[in-house]
Amino acid sequence: MTKLTGYNLIGLEGSARGEQTFLAINPSTLIPLDTTFYEATFPEIDRAIVKAEEAFLVYKSIHPEARARFLETIAEEILELDDTLIRRCMDETALPEARLIGERMRTVNQLRLFASVVRDGSWVDARIDTATPDRRPFPKPDIRQMQIPLGPVGIFGASNFPLAFSVAGGDTSSAFAAGCTVVFKAHPLHPGTSELVGKAIQEAIRKTDLPDGIFSLIHGPSEKVGMTIVEHHKIAAIGFTGSFNGGKAIFDAANKRDIPIPVFAEMGSINPVFILPGALKERNKAIAKELVGSFTLGVGQFCTNPGLVVTLKSSESDQFYQALKNETAEVGSGTMLSERIRMNYRKGVKKLKESKGIKVLASSNTPEKENNVKSRVFSTDADFFLRNKDLAEEVFGPSTLIVAAQSKEEMINVAKNLEGHLTATIQGTEQDLAGYTDLIQILERKVGRLIFNGFPTGVEVCHSMVHGGPFPATTASQSTSVGTAAIRRFSRPVCYQDFPQAALPDQLKNENSLNIWRLVNGALTKERIG
């Protein structure tokens, strides 16, 4: 069994030089857990990043098979942790065992998926235009392009996904896959879970005989720890999942550096749901049941919980509201990830309850206690919503706001006035879609993922997934943090002009020894050149 130390993991070593310490708190009992964790000092963070730079010079050029095997070995080591990991994670998050077992498999499967992408190798998007020396009036040079890794990446763990968006989650696995080294800032709500997974990565590095410094794990609840990583001149990019305030502060700091760096921050979303007339008529109660299940999933602590629902006022909408009341009443109170998150949720709920234009439509029947909260549904009309832009802000927790529009035009106006979000959902019939093409065209400019007759909770990890969206949902709307396209966040294109074969990367040489797909003179092929 792996024993927790509370140390920072600087490459393959443990380090505890800091005077500031902290404990994890069990959210169910609010009782501190064992193991004292040491906040990283500036020298420790600097050492981790310097090691990451030194390791990057080697890791960026290793054979794709070695990189793929490293990712697969991390997955194996995480599974080896077995109940030790799940039990500690339950203690630190109050999340149920089944949820965490599922999240562990998602994490493992992400690593294996990226291993397959690396092994295939075509992700580098090799493009080759061979020379035409006798072209007139000027000869055409030989130009060859591919994606190369950026360098050491600083990654921040999320509070609400202690495995899948944490130490070995999507950001880390995609950065490793791209050929980057990682300095990971552990989330202070689950430091023990983070250390266990960090040690699994250390063991994978040892077993695959890779350089010390490919990975480091940094602890610390203070903002200065994270900002030290962001501002360090050897960090080449940042991956972040969390609050808007946190993500925006990191984004601003990264852009104030002497040499600004890209920040891929996912910062929250209200994930609007538009229920069109045909769907409301055909599936009234079913939609209500599924909606309640979605906005209360994980006690509303997913970045994809639907926080806004737009309907047209009608007799069917009145029936829908009643169904929502009935379904919400049956939802039990749930434990939040921390007292601070609970306090912020109650603050958001209080603001809605005290607003003169907002009604409490539904609430859980079970009482709140300690770190538990009720689920709630609020309602208002479109006119009031449009006049109060702060109503479109995320309330992180199990609540949603129903907006009743008087007409299709008013519904469209609500859509037009939305900011960027991760997802938007349309509940409708095919006839509804034919009559609301303008709504679809508006929403596709507002989000990264459009959903038809489903709900946004549950993000499939696959090649085609987009988990991103326009600002303020993210700081980079052209990217995704889930799915294999996430690898492109941590790479950039470079081209080689008139280089001799021996000096080219294997991906761009004539013989194509890696057997990858390449765009050669405008045609996609695996054939060798010449």
Tell me the C-alpha distance between 486 and 181, whole Å: 15
Catalytic residue among 39, 303, 327, 410: 303
| Residue (of 483, 315, 498, 302) closest to 394 by Cα position | 302
What is Dmax (Cα atoms) for the chain? 82
Instruction: Round to whole Å and give the CA distance between 145 and 494.
Output: 6
**DSSP track, 246-315:** HHHHHHHHHHHSSS---EEEE------EEE-HHHHHHSHHHHHHHHHHHHTGGGG-STT---EEEEE-SH
Query: Which one is catalytic: 53, 266, 290, 394?
Result: 266
Taken in order 98, 103, 109, 111, the sign of the CA dihedral is negative
266 is catalytic: yes
**252, 169 Cβ separation under 8 angstroms:** no
Residue type, 306: P
Told to judge if 303 belongs to the known catalytic residues of this protein, a careful annotator would answer yes
DSSP string, 207-234: HTTPPTTSEEEE--SSHHHHHHHHH-TT
Type of residue at 458: G
Q: What CA–CA distance (Å, rounded) separates 172 from 181?
A: 9
So which residues are the catalytic ones?
266, 303
